[in-house]
Structure 1
């Protein structure tokens, strides 16, 4: 035969699946960093915010594990505690981390500027909204209690406790999609501020939008970002955007407030028979 049939989805977008910290709330994704820095400081081995950010987006137990594996941290831990960190060390740190993270979440859960308006716009558009996160269920419930008071209640919320493996594997995204009763991955968009979250969306076969300014890649609180000159902001924006594009993001914008044009363009591409 000279031709082969190829099935393509050409309908509208059906769902948007968003990360939490740095994407919808907590400008700068500060809550995990503050809790991790405090955890390691209390353990006698301080880590810098930059070190704490490196594994951002992953399961928080795995996040702590990756910090412990950093040569500087591992060496410092052995000097302070007389042994290299092991599985018992990880278990103990994670147990201590959970209440610290819940406490900090209460201080860092304000919706990102423009998020409420964008969420309302997506709902008016008929899109189903899901959320997933590297937080465990206790932490996630703390976040949900905070954002509910601000008017955000996603129809599907998936955390690392709900799946066998977290990011960059696609299980959380796919569970969101199934919870939302969306039957086609091409009709879904994953929005995330971390490179591993973009990888998750790509591994799920979804469109992906990276957020360069509001989350982990720039890593500044809102007032710190606003205090920078336009030139300083541009330098940080460009570096962050490059990292997210290198991770495979289809689009990169500053924050969730800038999502509308991306959704419009994805629907145009879908109608033309394009796929992620």
Structure 2
């Protein structure tokens, strides 16, 4: 018989759009700006589509989009190359670093949810598409507001960022928790969900405050309810199609989901112990 602690041992959160920066606004604005500087107008939807990736990969993905790639070729008479990607990123990083202090406010419910999980003995890890330099701006501001996590792993500290599982694995090492089947990945993008699946974790997608919905708090308050509900349903379908175990409207629902996961882990492990 095998003995396992029948509960969630750690929750690994994303940062922007999940714990801070409601609507994940900071990077989107900067992506649009850096492409505009090159004479390429990208839409809000195009800027958001690769969200969750490491930022260099994000730029690379935008350049590979058919419409944008065609515009680039028309303007520069050649395909974009790695030098262009590095040049765009070189513009992106300092602008984002300047903006980040304005976009490090914890989302409503994040502090209470994290503190509640900690009281249950659950450790709190985080992954992000930001690099360490960016998180050195975001994390201290969030910490002073009361959002305190146990581990931060950034995309530049592992071989590859999302959707690869390495940041999740490094969090498990930092927190000294296992098996991965008793860890939960929480995020606001499809890449968060795939990251968690690739790491062998439970996955939870968050809609409100996240990049997939892409609405600020004011926009959510002012949009027509029918339109908002349709948008929420669309994001929910997208998460489930990506393989999410659970999808919640906002972070305040997370503790109930953790209770459900605990019940499922306990049932599964009891069945294992009977074999």
Q: Which residue of structure 2 aligns with residue 217 of structure 1? A: 212
Please give the TM-score of this superposition, normalised by the length of structure 1: 0.93
Aligned partner of 2:47 among 33, 52, 66: 52
User: Between Structure 1 and Structure 2, how many residues are aligned?
Assistant: 270
Matches within 5 A, 1:179-218: 179-218=174-213
Deviations 1:76-126 (A, max 9, x none): 223333432111111111111111111222222211111111111111111
Matches within 5 A, 1:93-104: 93-104=88-99
Distance 1:101 1:46 in 2: 18
Matches within 5 A, 1:112-261: 112-261=107-256
Matches within 5 A, 1:19-38: 19-38=14-33
Distance 2:227 2:40 in 1: 32
Contact 1:34 1:104 in 2 (8 A): no
Contact 2:12 2:126 in 1 (8 A): yes
Contact 2:183 2:201 in 1 (8 A): yes
Larger helix proportion, structure 1 or 2? 2
Distance 1:186 1:217 in 2: 26
Q: Unmatched 5+ residue regions in structure 2? A: none
Shift of 1:224: 0.4
SS in 2 for 1:93: helix
Structure 2 CA distance for partners of 1:265 and 1:96, relative to 1, 3 Å? same
Q: Which residue of structure 2 aligns with residue 78 of structure 1? A: 73
Distance 2:99 2:252 in 1: 24
Stretch deviating more after TM superposition (97-106 or 245-254): 97-106
Distance 1:105 1:49 in 2: 19
SS in 2 for 1:213: coil
RMSD: 1.6
Please give the TM-score of this superposition, normalised by the length of structure 2: 0.94
